[in-house]
Amino acid sequence: DVKVTQSSRYLVKRTGEKVFLECVQDMDHENMFWYRQDPGLGLRLIYFSYDVKMKEKGDIPEGYSVSREKKERFSLILESASTNQTSMYLCASSLEWDKATFGSGTRLTVV
């Protein structure tokens, strides 16, 4: 089975901290995505990457950056965490048109 693994299930960080959320997939997928999920807003795309070292902004990239140094790993970085970044973060990966696999999510609380 394809696996998309997010390093932390729950995370609590302080305002102003630099936060790294890690996502690893084991199926050589080209495309990887980071979303956040908020009540009433559904899942919104933060950043995506379609190849190593390639990245594209999604719908809500402000306050975030990403890194894709290796094909299997896509990191989401909160440069200076703020309370409005408290959310559920979801990573996904896909090969071509029809194989999207999701991680189990990281619930981040910024205090």
Residues at the interface with another protein (CB under 8 A): 9, 30-31, 33, 35, 40-45, 48, 50, 56, 90, 92, 94, 96-105, 107
Q: How far is the CB of 34 from another protein (least distance, A)?
A: 11
Minimum CB distance to another protein smaller for 18 or for 35: 35
Specify whether the backbone of 78 is left (phi greater than 0), alpha (psi in -120 to 50) or beta: beta
Q: How far is the CB of 80 from another protein (least distance, A)?
A: 27
**CA 92/CA 18 separation, integer angstroms:** 22
Burial of 104 (0-12, 13-18, 19+ CB in 10 A): exposed
Minimum CB distance to another protein smaller for 92 or for 110: 92
Tokens of 100: 């999207």
DSSP 80: S
Q: How far is the CB of 98 from another protein (least distance, A)?
A: 4
Minimum CB distance to another protein smaller for 77 or for 102: 102
DSSP 105: -
Q: How far is the CB of 89 from another protein (least distance, A)?
A: 11
